[in-house]
Amino acid sequence: MIDKIKEHIAEVEAFIAKSHDEVETFRIKYLGKKGLLNDFFTEFKNVPNEQKKEFGQTINKLKTVASEKVNQLKAALSNEEEVKGIYGDLTRPGEPIELGSRHPISIVKNKIIDIFSRIGFNVSEGPEIEDDWHNFTALNLPEYHPARDMQDTFFIEKPRTVGADVLLRTHTSSVQVRYMENNEPPIRTISPGRVYRNEAISARSHCFFHQVEGLYVDKGVSFADLKQTLQYFTTEMFGKSKIRLRPSYFPFTEPSAEVDVYWGLETETDYKMTKGTGWLEIMGCGMVDPNVLKNCNIDPEVYSGFAFGMGIDRIALLLHQIPDIRMFSENDVRFLEQFKSL
């Protein structure tokens, strides 16, 4: 009987299977409830006492060898099927599919939107081809106002009548005018988008760029509310909590200010960016001029508000240490691939 078991051990060790079905048949033959191992264990009681030790060791060896053989064959067949599934699929592309990357402008814009959405600002959008009323006149910039010279403009049509000009918008403040015309206070909105100005193209400026402008109109809105909102934004965006507001002029806000954030002077790049002062200008802001509210059918005796605007391109240049604004619009894959993980 012991010799018969040893023959089965040799048979198990030499066994080869080409399919999972053959492995399963082999497993049932030896390890199943009605398999040979059960028969041998049943026969154990009939073995003479002096042979029981050797008989038991031989049966255990057969069980171990059979179990290992089953596991080995299953693993080998699974690996073979996996490899065949990968390399046998003729519909697979010949090269790995590259992951895309977000444009740095989109990365910064989405971050700005996310920051202001946490304090209740929604997103409003408007046309890039705008009329004179929404782009200038409603914003306290009537025809022949000298402040129009601050914004070199791309006109699309020659004026036929006063106020009939059509142009590429020079700021997203036009979106705010449209929003105020169609919504009653309280208003809390930001307007991201592309704007156009007839300027010379260089490493620091372009004829088109991107802005985010914000507007808050409600009863009792003060300059203190504006400052606290900007303090929150600079802390979340740059990790810098120290800001200062310098008096400035914008036709649609009064009083108006430029906002600087203290960037520091830790590196040589910091010195270059801030011209050795440590301060960096990031946006303009102010309280909405009462004339603008009137033009949008909002009573300035009841409501007040603040507005601010910043250049997305400039912030992207700053955050990612990009030396030339033209890189944003050249579609150089080598440049864009750097932003895959962002």
DSSP 91-105: TS-SSPPPP----HH
Q: How many CA atoms lie within 13 A of 339 on its CB side?
A: 19
Give how far the C-alpha of residue 259 lies from the chain's centroid of Cα atoms, to the nearest Å.
27
How far is residue 4's CA from residue 58's CA, in Å, rounded to a whole number? 10
pLDDT at 149 > cutoff 80? no
Each residue of 24-45: pLDDT tens digit?
887 777 777 777 777 767 776 6
Give the span between the Cα atoms of 237 and 112, in whole angstroms.
7
CA dihedral sign, ordered 242, 245, 246, 248: positive
Strand partners, 304: 218
- Calculate mean pLDDT across residues 50-67: 76
Q: Which residues contact 329 (CB under 8 A, 6 or more apart)?
A: 206, 208
> What is each CA distance from 243 to 91, 225, 238, 279, in whole angstroms?
58, 14, 11, 8
Would you call 15 helix, strand, or coil by DSSP? coil
Is residue 273 within 8 Å of residue 244, measured between CB atoms? no
User: Has residue 22 got a pLDDT over 90?
Assistant: no
d(CA 274, CA 167): 34
Beta bridge mates, 130: 167
Cα 133 from Cα 153, distance rounded (Å) = 14
CATH code of the domain made up of 104-339: 3.30.930.10
Looking at residues 89-108, what average pLDDT do you find?
A: 78
Percent of the chain, pLDDT > 70? Answer: 85
Average pLDDT, the chain: 83
Residue type, 306: F
Is pLDDT of 320 > 70? yes
Q: Are 165 and 159 in contact (CB under 8 A)?
A: yes
226, pLDDT greater than 80: yes
Q: What is the DSSP letter of 249?
A: E
Q: Of the ranges 5-9, 59-63, 324-328, which is most confident? A: 324-328
In the structure encoding, which two tokens stand for residue 291, read together? 């004339």
Whole-number pLDDT of residue 162 = 47
Strand order in the sheet with 243-250: 122-123, 187-196, 208-218, 304-311, 279-288, 253-262, 243-250
276-299 pLDDT, tens per residue? 898 988 999 999 999 999 999 999
Whose tokens are 């191992």? That residue is 37
| CA 154 to centroid of chain Cα atoms | 32
- pTM > 0.75: yes or no: no
- Residues 257, 227: Cα–Cα separation, whole Å: 10
- Transcribe 116-141 into DSSP letters: HHTTT-EE----SEEEHHHHTGGGT-
218 has pLDDT over 70: yes
- CB 90: neighbour CB atoms within 10 A? 5
Distance CA 172, CA 197 (A): 12
pLDDT over 70 at 55, yes or no? no
Strands 187-196 and 304-311: unpaired
Name the token pair of 196: 């156009």
pLDDT digits (tens, 9 = 90+) for 151-178: 567 767 655 554 457 888 989 999 999 9
Most confident of 181-185, 194-198, 265-269: 181-185
Nearest to 58 by CA among 33, 36, 29, 26: 36
pLDDT of residue 84: 56
Dihedral in degrees, nearest 10, Cα atoms 91, 97, 103, 104: 160
Query: What pLDDT does residue 151 have?
Result: 58
Tokens of 189: 């909105």
